[in-house]
Amino acid sequence: MSPLLQGILTVIIGVGGCIGYFWSSNYVLDKYIFPPKGKDAGRNINRANAIRPWLFMLPAILALGLYLVYPVFGSFWRSLFNRAGDEFVGLGNYGLLFGDGEFRQALFNNFLWVLFVPAASTFLGLLVAQLTDRLSWGNIAKSLIFMPMAISFVGASLIWKFVYAVDPEIGIINALRASMGFEALDPLQVGFWNNFLLMFILVWIQTGFAMVILSAALRGIPEETIEAAIIDGASPTQIFFRIKIPQIMGTIVVVWTTITILVLKVFDIVYTMTGGNFGTQILPSYMMEYMFRDDGRATAVAFVIMVIVLPVMIWNIMQARKEVR
Amino acid sequence: MAANDDGIAGETSGLKIVTNLSVVFLVVLWLIPTIGLLVSSFRDRDAISSSGWWNAPFATEQNFAASAEGEFRQTPEGWVLEGNVFGEDGSGEVISFGGRRSEPNAFAPGTTGELVRGRTLTVETNGDYVYVDPDEEQPSRNPTVYFGTKVPPSFSTENYETILASAGMDVAFINTLTVTIPATIIPILVAAFAAYALAWMDFPGRGVLIAVVVGLLVVPLQLALVPMLTFHNTIGIGQSFYGIWFAHTAFGLPLAVYLLRNYMVGLPRDIIESAKVDGATDFQVFTKIVLPLSFPALASFAIFQFLWTWNDLLVAKVFLPSNSESWVMTVKIADDLLGSRGGDWGILAAAAFVSIAVPLLVFFTMQRYLVRGLLAGSVK
């Protein structure tokens, strides 16, 4: 059977199964377990209503529990074992990691990524959002800058590999260098700075995201505050930095943290562009080097990423708790 | 915003010009890389390596070799061979010529070039050449004339035909589609029920569950790879499409539940409560009222999940078999084409555009829902 057919069949079975589950579990609950009739009608309605939310949530809870909650512990547990998984080595894998120069390089580069990508994307996004705010063709401009969001990291890497190509007849960077009389060089092999060339690909993708959200936030600023500032004689720059920025600070933080988390997951760009060579390794691509070869080490790297994400996670949860209350 | 459309916010026309120009600059900067690759995907290999894509609309200079045909004539100057580099029927404009492969551009057209051992070669602009060999014996083989000429710009879909017909990109395209469809549709339904429960049903532990979902939003996928692959191997599905469907479904759920709950909570309370007063059960309220009203949020999530599963490399590398029949497009490009056809930019570019065409189409037609989804997830 062709995979596509198998896929369509899976959609039908999956969707049918879901609908079937939700409908029948609900039906059984109301009809047989706690029917709202007889002498216990009132109590039964309350009981059924106490159980129903859990019926509704059961598939989601099972999937989330199995694929996202359990792996946090499962990965940590696995990282305490050796390559084959049959010998307990304690924190040995973590020791190996920190003793490995490539891992320390990856950690350092990831640190650079986390500093640079969210800052640059948010800054550029805010810039574009503000500049296009009153432009007649602003929506078209925004749509074009937003476009890279739809492109896969692999596709984007290919697009930029072309820009960074060594041949001055292919790569625009080297073409510019040639027109200024410089020798052609491979930008991706320029130590340290090549990291920023890779980061810029992600900035290129994420600026649109930041722009869309910050643009909406800018529109949401109460008009009166700006008018009052104008009447008081504030310059456009002052209005932007003293009136607008403080009012959208909350959104800026959300954009910043969202991109930060993304940065810690993206392995595609480094994998496609340099394969982690020339000092561009980052944690997710370093992990993939050991995936399938040494699961103990791979899971240890994954857990290190988790530990780095943890503060953001806690902060997110605290923000959400505040809102729900 | 209408109040300060023109200059009221202390904006001068000078500032307006600067604003316009900077936006034009940024948009161009943002588009150049993609346009470059798009243009290149329609050019053949020789055109790509002989001139930059920014020169694609113009004629390019390329070097050719023409082996002289015909018989040598004996004249007082020596053996002479005449002909035209473009052949009998062809035409063109010679801009340089030479007698050796290593120096195809040594002489200007209309001049006589001195070759080794007293031989001379004259090539006119129209391609007519005269080759003179002062040797006594008739030359044993005909010479080759090297020349440079302008080639008019040519674009073709040849790269696309190659990539789809012989490079296996068609299989990869089908595989991507196969992964994407179930992985987009199934989580919607699972998440919608859970989101309704978290939004409109009252039960102990609801706040905690919402917090857990928010927390799971940021759990790095990397953690799930090893334990879940082990799990799949244990239950017997191993690396297969089933595995990747389960994985994508589960990985998409936190965002789905979060987006849908946020949206459903904002639905008007009156409608839902009056329906309940009229005797509708929760199940009916959900299917008849909440689900249809939540269409915009469902569409937003569907677009996100579609883009994410279509563009994913990591999950496909881990949960799908690593044989070429099961490659999705991202894996095909990253693991196969970049290695085996690393220098063949036309092919790579065409492959890239085959893989990003569908997401771009979805993006430009459904941008409204995408933006709405982003805003629902982020703006507080």
Q: Measure in Å the smallest separation between the Cα of A191 and chain B Cα atoms.
A: 22
B89 vs A310, higher pLDDT: A310
A253, A168 Cβ separation under 8 angstroms:
no
Averaged over B96-120, what is the pLDDT? 82
Q: From the CB of residue B376, how many other CB atoms can be counted at a distance below 10 Å?
A: 18
Q: Measure in Å the smallest separation between the Cα of A90 and chain B Cα atoms.
A: 18
In this predicted model, what pLDDT tens digit does every residue of A127-155 receive, in sequence order?
Answer: 999 988 888 888 889 899 999 989 999 99
Please state which CATH number belongs to domain A96-324. Answer: 1.10.3720.10
In this predicted model, what pLDDT tens digit does every residue of B26-39 receive, in sequence order?
Answer: 999 999 999 988 88
Say whether pLDDT at A316 is over 70. Answer: yes
Contacts of B310 in chain A (CB under 8 A): 152
Residue-range domains of chain B with CATH: 2-57 (no CATH), 60-151 (no CATH), 161-378 (1.10.3720.10)
> Cα B128–B130–B134 angle (5° rounding)?
175
For chain B, percent of residues with pLDDT exceeding 70 = 95
Q: pLDDT at position A58, please?
A: 92
Residue of A nearest to B247 (CA): A67
Half-sphere exposure of A261 (CA within 13 A, CB side): 21
B317, A288 Cβ separation under 8 angstroms:
yes
Residue of A nearest to B327 (CA): A3
Averaged over B90-107, what is the pLDDT? 80
In this predicted model, what pLDDT tens digit does every residue of A152-185 receive, in sequence order?
Answer: 999 999 999 889 988 888 888 888 888 888 888 8
Q: pLDDT at position B78, please?
A: 83
CA–CA gap between residue B177 and residue B183 (Å, rounded): 10
CB contact (8 A) between residue A254 and residue B379 = yes
CB contact (8 A) between residue A22 and residue B222 = no
Interface test with B, best of A67, A70, A258, A319 (most B CBs within 10 A): A67
Q: What string of DSSP letters covers A203-217?
A: HHHHHHHHHHHHHHH
CB contact (8 A) between residue A132 and residue B23 = yes
Residue of A nearest to B188 (CA): A15
Averaged over B98-107, what is the pLDDT? 80
- The domain segmentation of chain A, as residue ranges, is 3-78, 96-324
Say whether pLDDT at B6 is over 70. Answer: no
Q: How far apart are the first and last CA of chain A?
A: 52
Q: pLDDT at position A34, please?
A: 78
Say whether pLDDT at B306 is over 50. Answer: yes
Q: How confident is the model at residue A275 (pLDDT cuts 50, 70, 90)?
A: confident
Please give the interface size between A and B, counted as residue pairs whose CB atoms are below 8 Å apart: 355
Contacts of B226 in chain A (CB under 8 A): 71, 74-75, 78, 291, 295, 298-299, 302
Interface test with B, best of A25, A97, A154, A273 (most B CBs within 10 A): A154
Averaged over A234-258, what is the pLDDT? 88
CB contact (8 A) between residue B19 and residue A135 = yes
- For tokens 């370093």, name the residue: A286
Say whether pLDDT at B379 is over 70. Answer: no
Q: pLDDT at position B330, please?
A: 92
CB contact (8 A) between residue B219 and residue A134 = no
- Name the residue among A15, A155, A324 with its Cβ closest to that of B210: A324
In this predicted model, what pLDDT tens digit does every residue of A70-116 receive, in sequence order?
Answer: 999 999 999 999 888 788 888 888 998 899 889 999 999 999 999 99
Runs of H (alpha helix) within chain B: 13-41, 45-50, 158-165, 169-200, 206-216, 222-235, 241-265, 269-277, 282-284, 291-293, 295-311, 314-319, 329-331, 338-340, 345-365, 367-378
Q: Which of B343, B342, B321 is nearest to B333 (CA)?
A: B342
For chain A, percent of residues with pLDDT exceeding 70 = 99
CB contact (8 A) between residue A68 and residue B251 = yes
In this predicted model, what pLDDT tens digit does every residue of A198-227 receive, in sequence order?
Answer: 999 999 999 999 998 899 888 888 989 889
Q: pLDDT at position A196, please?
A: 93
Q: How confident is the model at residue A325 (pLDDT cuts 50, 70, 90)?
A: low
Say whether pLDDT at B101 is over 60. Answer: yes
Residue type, B67: S
Residue type, A30: D
Contacts of B324 in chain A (CB under 8 A): none
In this predicted model, what pLDDT tens digit does every residue of B208-260 receive, in sequence order?
Answer: 899 999 899 888 889 999 999 999 999 988 888 889 999 999 999 998 998 89
Residue of B nearest to A69 (CA): B216
Say whether pLDDT at A117 is over 90. Answer: yes
Residue of B nearest to A233 (CA): B10
Q: pLDDT at position A201, please?
A: 94
CB contact (8 A) between residue B257 and residue A155 = no
Contacts of A10 in chain B (CB under 8 A): 182, 241-242, 245
Give the largest CA-CA distance in chain A: 94
In the structure encoding, which two tokens stand for residue A244, read together? 């607008």
List the B94-98 sheet strands across, edge first: B60-67, B144-151, B94-98
CB contact (8 A) between residue B189 and residue A131 = no
CA–CA gap between residue B54 and residue B39 (Å, rounded): 9
DSSP A182: P
**Region of residue A155 (left: phi > 0; alpha: psi -120 to 50; beta: else):** alpha
**Cα–chain center distance at A177:** 35
Calculate the alpha carbon distances from B216 to A74, A308, B210, B223, B245 in Å.
15, 15, 10, 12, 19
Say whether pLDDT at B144 is over 60. Answer: yes
Q: How confident is the model at residue B5 (pLDDT cuts 50, 70, 90)?
A: very low
Q: How confident is the model at residue A324 (pLDDT cuts 50, 70, 90)?
A: low
pTM of the model: 0.85
Contacts of A51 in chain B (CB under 8 A): none
Mean pLDDT estimate for chain B? 84
Mean pLDDT estimate for chain A? 88
Q: Measure in Å the smallest separation between the Cα of A118 and chain B Cα atoms.
A: 15
CB contact (8 A) between residue B359 and residue A151 = yes
A230, A244 Cβ separation under 8 angstroms:
no
In this predicted model, what pLDDT tens digit does every residue of A22-81 receive, in sequence order?
Answer: 888 888 888 888 777 777 777 887 888 888 889 889 999 999 999 999 999 999 999 999
CB contact (8 A) between residue B34 and residue A147 = yes
Calculate the alpha carbon distances from A255 to A212, B23, B84, B307 in Å.
10, 21, 66, 19
CB contact (8 A) between residue B49 and residue A170 = yes
Q: Which of B83, B370, B231 is nearest to A216 (CA)?
A: B370
Say whether pLDDT at B7 is over 50. Answer: no
B22 vs B165, higher pLDDT: B22
Averaged over A184-193, what is the pLDDT? 84
In the structure encoding, which two tokens stand for residue A75, read together? 């990965």
In chain A, how many H helices and how many E strands?
16, 0
Q: pLDDT at position A210, please?
A: 92
Say whether pLDDT at B358 is over 80. Answer: yes
